[in-house]
Structures are given as structure tokens and as C-alpha cells.
Amino acid sequence: MTNTRIPARTRTVTPPPVAPAPPSARDRGTRLLATLFLAPTIVGIVVFTVVPIAGSVVLSLFHWNVIDDPSFAGAANYRETLSDSTVLVSFRNTLVFMVLAVALQLLIALVLALAVNGRMPVWLRSVFRSAFFFPLVLSAASISVVMKYLFNQDFGVVNWLLGLIGIAPVPWLTSENSAMAAVILVYVWQQFGFSFLLFVGGLNNIPKEIHEAAALDGATGLRKHLNVTLPLLSPTLLVASVVGIINALQVFEQPYVLTNGGPGDSTRTVVMVIYESAFEQLRFGEASAVGVLLFVLIMAVTALQFRLSRRFVHYQ
Amino acid sequence: MTQAISTVSRARHSLAPWARITALAVCALLTLGPVIWTVSTSLRTPAESFDLPPKIIPTSPTVESYRGVFDQIDVWLLALNSTLVTGLIAVGQMITAGLAGYAFARLEFRFKKPLFALVLATMMVPLQVTIVPVFLVLKSMSLTDTLLGLIIPAFPTAFGTFLMRQYFLGMPKDLGEAAMLDGCGPWRIFRSVYAPLAAPGLAIVGVLAFNYHWNEFFRPLILETSAQNYTLPLGLVSLQGNLGTGSISVVLAGVVLSMIPAVAVFVVGQRPLREGITSAGVNR
């Protein structure tokens, strides 16, 4: 599959002219090499992930504004956090966002993957594949700048297009009712290509014989997809939804640039709250408490998914 | 022959092929629409920016807006910062992931399983949960508001390590065994036998790292406070802020400029990029 270039001297294996080095010396060499090879990754992970996780938990138990000495707060940060209406709204917004964005993203990706998998010239398939995957390589922050213009109520292209089919202009970014919809649409526009690629890969892994057998049994169209394709694709669906949900719970750039959390708090997400309380209000303890809660939420949702998946995922 | 069979089975799709292809074309156009609009608006005069229907082909194309970007922000500095940060992270990740992936795939040592589990577990930890302590660690090393502060924490890569481990596991074991019989030590086996075969896997790690960090916004927003350390996405968002409701064609020209390297990588490295993204799903 790859152009494996085999070094000339290993190509012909002759019996060893001399006995190999004694195993103990070799083992020591191997262990030393393993230590050297792993050091950058393990040290980096410990310093920049493991210690910070512990640090977040510790910080969440203190009041600290960087300037004064930290003072022990016990569970006060959690109590304050859980009674702060902005924080609660941000958790609700994030969950609503997660459910709608992931559902929409998976649905669009699945339909497009099935459609692209159908019969068509090879070049056309690769054009479609590239087009759907393209938004993934763009910066979420700069594309949100662009989308801010497209979703403008008065001169945005989105409302102009809707006008063509007789829909009145929507105050996308300026109304509490529609701002979240705009954030979701912009996010899904950029992200569906990821699930799309996973599905295309998953569909390619389904053996052709199974489709042929299903066709011989008279399964066609939608029924074939529901009864044959979907169960076979379920491991890929699980991965796409797990990764999709973990990413969606961390949404930041789109609401930050499009609406800055507004109007009101209608699009403020958990990560925006972490950013604002830590780096704008210098409330490091509270920010850490929100971070720990987000972490727990992500773990819980992921664990729940794997539990549910035992019932719905079929491995071949 | 296979062609004939698949023709039979696929001809029974519920949609006629032409309807399906037309629908796909409409979706592709909707997907690329915002990008096409961005490019074309950046080439129109500011007065024409808001024309509806949008003139996709500008009546009098002009690069005036691009000159405007260079006047208002230091594009060269932003691009240099972005290139340094992204390039060094990509090279750094290829090194750390290549070495660690090889150790997990082909070397025997104590605590191999728990260490690998630790690496995999960090894939689950969102950046935002650790950002406050990471910020404090960097502050204690005087690395906040420096480019190094963005670069060094990004060197270890759990996903890259996982990917390279799979890659090395996929190589035939007898290559190394033959070299061992020839008297090669563990370093020589890595250096002369396996490392030269790792280039395609490393390309995947490098391309993924480039794509992610070129577009990265959250960490630079927190770590870089002075404009001289801004990367392109930060510079563009601040460009939009400076202008308020002013000339959008200038902002869009900036967006187009910042897209160019990402698009170049998309064109040249589309295959490793796609393989990297799909390997997340297929390897499970």
C-alpha cells in the first residue's frame, strides 16, 4: 500500500555470523531507548495535562484573583456557581446546542455520505467529497467573522436567499429566539464534514457482498439503508457521535465572534463563562469550578453513550 | 465484473441518479457558498459589498481591499507568528509522536500498558478544563505572552502518538528481527530500518497539526496579550473590531489572505488529512 523501501542489507537474511549480544545488555539498551523516546511525550503530558487537572480541582476550592493571596473557600465556588443564573443558563445553552448541533451534523453527514456513495463518475465523487470536507480546514474564528455578515438582518445574503422563497427577514443575531439557531447553523456548516468523512470511510468498510445479498433478498432504497446499512454503520455512528458531542460541549469561537454570548445570555456557553470569569474578571477559583463541572459533564455524557451503545451498536 | 454487479445493486436506489447528483451539487454549492462570497466580495469595491443579489463576478475587480489590510494590520508579522508557531508545533509533534509511537509499538519496557492508557486518557480532557492551571504554569516560567508559550505545551500529542503507534505496528516485524540478527542494536533498528518507513504516517501527524494550530483561536486569545505576538486569527478578529461596521471588503480580504496556507495544505495534503481524520473512526 505504501512504497515500503526495504534497506538493502536486511533483504537477504543470512545466519548470524556472530552470536547476538547477550540479552541483558540488549534489554538495558532497549529500556534506555524507550525512556528517551517516551520522555518528551510523558513529561509534556504530566506538566501540561495531568498536573493542570489536579490544579483545576485544587483551584476550584479557593478564592483567588491573582493579586491577593488565595484563600480557602471549600465548596463555596461550587455553591456560587450552581446558584449563578449566568452559569446555569450557560450550561442549559451548551446542552441545547450540543443536542441540536450534533443531531443536525450527523443527519446531514449521513444523508450526504449515502448519496455520495451511490453510483457516479469517480471524479465527481471526489469533487463532492472535497467540497463537503473543505470548511474543516478553515479557521472557526475567521469564518465566524464572515458569517456575521451573511447572517446580518438587513443586508445579509441568508435573508436575501430566504426572501427569494418568500420568508420574511429573520433577525438572526439580534433576537434571543434566533441567535442560537444562527450559532448552530454556522457550527454545523463547518463541522459536518468531519462526520461525513467518518461515514464515507465506514460505508467503504461494509463488504459489497452484504449489499448484494440484501438486494437479492429484495431490500431496496430506504428500507435497505434502515435495516442493513445503519446497523453495519453503527460503530462509526458511535465514534462520530462521541467525538461530535465532546467537541460540541466545548464550543467557543462561533458564539464568541458571532454574538459574544448575547443577546442577553442567550448564546453564552460554558467555555465562554470559563474564559470570562478567569481572564476578564480574574475569578480563577470560580472559573476552575466551572471547568471541573464541564469535565464531569463530558465524562458523564460519554460514559452514558458507551452504555447505551451496548444495545444499539453491532460489531461485525 | 464487480462493476456489473454493483450497477445492478445500486440501480435500485430510491432516487434517480440525476436527482441525487443534482441534490448533491446544490449541497456542495451551499457548502462552498460562503467561501465563494468571501473571495468575490474581497475583490469588489467597498460600495458594492452589500449588493444583493451578490455579484459573484465583480464588475470592476479591485485589489484595493487587500492594500487596505496591509495598511491596517501588520499582515507580515501576523503571518510570521502563525508560521513560526504552526511550523514548530508540527515538527515538534512529528518528533514526539514518532518517538513515543515507536516505543509503544516496538520496544519492551515496564509500565508500558499503564503509560499508554495515560496517553489515551488525555485525549478525553478538553483544553478549556486545564487552561487556567496551564496559564499559571506558563506564567511561572515567564512564557505567557510569548510564542514559545503557545508552542511548547502543544508538543505532546496523544492522538499523534496513537496514530504513529498504529503505523509502526502495521510494519512487518521480521524487518527488525532480521536487523537484530545482523547485530544491530535497538537504536540502529529504529534509525535504519523503521524510521525511514515512517514518513507517510508522520505526514498525517504533521498535516493535522498544521491544520489545527494554524486556525487555533482559544489559546492565543488567552496567552497572547500584546499585538506583536498575535497570530492571524486573532489579528483578523481584531481587524473586524477596529472597523466596526466599516469596510467589510477589507476584513474579507484579510480572511482570504489567512486562508491561503490552509487551502494550500488542503490541496497538497488532502490525502494525509483525510486519512488522519478517518483513522479516528476506523481504528476502533
Q: What is the pLDDT of residue B244?
A: 53
Task: Establish if B262 belongs to a structural domain.
Answer: yes
Task: Establish if A119 belongs to a structural domain.
Answer: yes
- How confident is the prediction along chain A (316 residues), in pLDDT tens digits per residue? 344 444 444 444 555 555 555 557 778 888 899 999 999 999 999 999 999 999 999 989 988 887 778 888 888 889 988 888 999 999 999 999 999 999 999 999 999 999 998 888 889 998 999 999 899 889 898 899 899 989 988 888 899 999 888 888 889 998 888 999 999 999 999 999 989 988 988 888 887 777 777 777 776 667 777 777 888 888 888 888 888 998 899 899 999 999 998 898 999 999 999 999 988 888 889 999 999 999 999 889 888 888 888 877 777 5
Residue of B nearest to A129 (CA): B28
Task: Establish if B254 belongs to a structural domain.
Answer: yes
Contact B215 A257 (CB under 8 A): no
Res B184 pLDDT > 70: yes
Task: Establish if A67 belongs to a structural domain.
Answer: no
Surface of B (81-100) touching A: CB under 8 A: 95-97, 99-100
Task: Establish if B43 belongs to a structural domain.
Answer: no
What is the number of domains present in chain A?
Answer: 1
**Which residue reads 488567552 in cell numbers?**
B222
Task: Establish if B51 belongs to a structural domain.
Answer: no
SS (H, E, C) A235-259: HHHHHHHHHHHHHHCCCCHHHHHHC
Write out chain B residues lying below 8 Å of A16, CB-based: 181-183
Surface of A (268-307) touching B: CB under 8 A: 271, 274-275, 278-279, 284, 287-288, 291-292, 294-295, 298-299, 302
Lowest mean pLDDT among A51-65, B30-44, B62-76, B222-236: B62-76
**Cross-chain CB nearest to A155 (options B24, B52, B274):** B52
Surface of A (195-224) touching B: CB under 8 A: 197-198, 200-202, 205, 208, 211-212, 215, 220-222
What is the number of domains present in chain B?
Answer: 1
Task: Establish if B53 belongs to a structural domain.
Answer: no
**Cross-chain CB nearest to B10 (options A2, A49, A119):** A119
**Cross-chain CB nearest to A295 (options B126, B240, B273):** B126
CA angle A267, A272, A278 (to 5 degrees): 150
Contact A291 B128 (CB under 8 A): yes
Contact A275 B99 (CB under 8 A): no
Task: Establish if A76 belongs to a structural domain.
Answer: no
Q: What is the pLDDT of residue B280?
A: 57
Q: What is the pLDDT of residue B6?
A: 44
Per the CB < 8 A criterion, the answer to whether A240 and A195 are in contact is yes
Q: What is the pLDDT of residue B149?
A: 93
Exposed e or buried b for every residue in A156-181, given b needs 16+ CB within 10 A?
bbbbbbeeeeeeeebbbbeeeebbbe
Give the whole-angstrom CA distance, residue B162 versus residue B116: 9
Query: What cell was used for A221?
Result: 432504497
CATH number of the structural domain spanning residue B97: 1.10.3720.10
Q: Which domain holds residue A262?
A: 84-312
- Give the distance from residue B36's alpha carbon to the nearest chain A alpha carbon, in angstroms: 11
Confidence label for B10 from pLDDT (cuts 50, 70 and 90): very low
Q: What is the pLDDT of residue A73?
A: 80
Query: What cell was used for A14?
Result: 543470512
Res B5 pLDDT > 60: no
- Beta strands A62-63 and A71-72, pairing class: antiparallel
Give the whole-angstrom CA distance, residue A13 versus residue A7: 12
CA angle B240, B245, B247 (to 5 degrees): 75
Q: What dihedral angle (degrees, nearest 10) is formed by the CA atoms of A3, A7, A11, A15? A: -150
DSSP A172: T
pTM: 0.85
Task: Establish if B235 belongs to a structural domain.
Answer: yes
CATH number of the structural domain spanning residue A265: 1.10.3720.10
Q: What is the pLDDT of residue A20?
A: 52
Surface of B (105-124) touching A: CB under 8 A: 107-110, 115, 118-119, 122, 124
Contact A133 B274 (CB under 8 A): yes
* Closest by Cα among B209, B201, B211, B216 to B100: B201
| ipTM score assigned to the predicted complex | 0.82
Q: What confidence tens digit (pLDDT) does each residue in B103-162 have? A: 999 998 889 999 999 998 888 888 888 888 999 899 999 999 999 999 999 999 998 998
Q: What confidence tens digit (pLDDT) does each residue in B67-118 have? A: 888 888 888 999 999 999 999 999 999 999 999 999 999 998 889 999 999 9
Q: Which domain holds residue B278?
A: 69-282
Task: Establish if B222 belongs to a structural domain.
Answer: yes
Confidence label for B8 from pLDDT (cuts 50, 70 and 90): very low
